[in-house]
Amino acid sequence: MSSSNQNKDNEKQAPVGLRLTEEAIAKIKAMMVKNNKEGFGLRIGVNTGGCAGLSYDMRFQKEPYDNDTVLEQGDIRILVNAESAQFLQGLEIDYQDTLKESGFQYRNPNAQSTCGCGTSFSFFPPAKSPSQPESGVGEKK
């Protein structure tokens, strides 16, 4: 399968609910122009670290990797790897520019807790589906 066909297939597997607000899209587009990254994708991921255990990561990347999920919002290609996808379900990324604060804000309904810095969080996994087997942890016998 060619790389372009593979990326087209990956577009069908986009994380559910990952959303950029209009303000975030406008800021990302402006940053692409300022940094000569027009036509690049926006990689959104999660790294271990930060005060709460996990932190969001965004960067520009020319081409997706073979195993990336690719989606588009507002003419921006969003690249997500499989390892980060579970942490990004339902995530909304906004951009605020006020007298009090300026920067990207992450709203994740699955975050158990967040840090004051706004980019670090701990993860509360979604409820398991009925088809998943029991783990046996903490069960009485």
| Per-residue model confidence as pLDDT tens digits over 106-125 | 888 776 655 555 555 455 55
The 3 state secondary structure assigned to the chain is: CCHHHHHHHHHCCCCCCCEECHHHHHHHHHHHHHCCCCCCEEEEEEEECCCCCEEEEEEEECCCCCCCEEEEECCEEEEECHHHHCCCCCCEEEEEECCCCEEEEEECCCEEEECCCCCEEEECCCCCCCCCCCCCCCCCC
| Per-residue model confidence as pLDDT tens digits over 19-73 | 999 999 999 999 999 999 999 999 998 887 655 467 889 999 999 999 999 999 9
Q: Where are the domains of the chain?
A: 3-123
3-123 under CATH 1.10.760.10, yes or no: no
Q: What is the pTM of this model?
A: 0.70
